[in-house]
Amino acid sequence: SQELEQSPQSLIVQEGKNLTINCTSSKTLYGLYWYKQKYGEGLIFLMMLQKGGEEKSHEKITAKLDEKKQQSSLHITASQPSHAGIYLCGADNANDMRFGAGTRLTVKP
Amino acid sequence: DTAVSQTPKYLVTQMGNDKSIKCEQNLGHDTMYWYKQDSKKFLKIMFSYNNKELIINETVPNRFSPKSPDKAHLNLHINSLELGDSAVYFCASSPSNGGKTQYFGPGTRLLVL
């Protein structure tokens, strides 16, 4: 089955700083999803990437898919405390979705 | 208006008890899932149902039994609860079996004492 590795595992940044989270797959990526989980809450769908080179943005969050590298990156510009949470990448795996272990983001005011 | 809802939100129970978690989606989706998120926040699929039929049954103990009375509901029944069952359980749904965006419920925090 497909394995997803996220890096870093945790990240602490000062408010206003930019940051990047990476998600690397052990297999070819056919669909890559990014979710955000606020502490103690459910998962919120952020965006989905399907094509190599595809880039999508949602407010100050941008995600890219590098099909050749089997990797996706999530970039947050000018981070805010509201960006804090756990970011999970998920990928299509036959009949279900597999997730990475998550990246815990803390934004210090 | 909640798309995917779960009840209860919190569940505290004694070891050995039997409990159920309910999930309902009003999105008209064909596929529903149960995930377990452990203390390390790792999210792992347990079951997948497509139009009331079991599609995926990952390696979970027999004590866990999903039940889908109709396309909009997928309940999770757990027998003889163990300490290791403590986790957050998420229900999700998607328009088709795999390959589509999944929408998650708020999660059910289960604590087994």
Pairing of strands A103-108, A10-14: parallel
**Strand B10-13 with B108-112, pairing:** parallel
Q: Measure CB to CB from residue B102 to each of A41, A94, A97 and give the nearest one.
A: A97
Local confidence band at B2 (pLDDT 50, 70, 90 cut-offs): low
Q: List residues of chain B with CB under 8 Å from any CB of chain A.
A: 33, 40-45, 48, 55-56, 90, 92, 97-99, 101-107, 109
Q: Tokens 């792992």 identify what position?
A: B44
- d(CA A73, CA A58) in angstroms, rounded, equals 14
Residues of B in contact with A34 (CB under 8 A): none
Q: What percent of chain A has pLDDT over 90?
A: 56
Chain A residues whose beta carbon lies within 8 Å of the beta carbon of residue B101:
33, 45, 48
Could you say which of A45, A86, A90 has the minimum Cβ distance to residue B41? A86
pLDDT of residue B66: 92
Please answer yes or no on whether A42 and B105 come within 8 Å at the CB atom.
yes
**Chain B residues within an 8 Å CB radius of A30:** 99
Contact B97 A95 (CB under 8 A): yes
Calculate the CA dihedral of residues B109, A106, A2, A94 and round it to 10 degrees: 60
Measured between CB atoms, which of B99, B104, B109 is closest to A43? B104
pLDDT digits (tens, 9 = 90+) for B18-39: 999 999 999 888 889 999 987 7
Interface list for chain A against chain B, based on CB atoms closer than 8 Å: 30-31, 33, 35, 37, 40-45, 48, 86, 88, 90, 92-99, 101-102, 104
The CA distance from A29 to the nearest CA of chain B, in Å, is: 11
Please give the average per-residue pLDDT across B52-80, as a whole number.
Answer: 88
Encode pLDDT of A6-55 as tens digits: 999 999 999 999 999 999 998 887 788 999 988 767 788 899 898 788 89
CA distance A80 to chain B (A): 22
Rounded CA-CA distance B59/B51 in Å is: 21
pLDDT band at A95 (very low <50, low <70, confident <90, very high): low
For chain A, the C-alpha Rg in angstroms (whole number) is: 13
Q: Is the distance from CB of B41 to CB of B109 less than 8 angstroms?
A: no
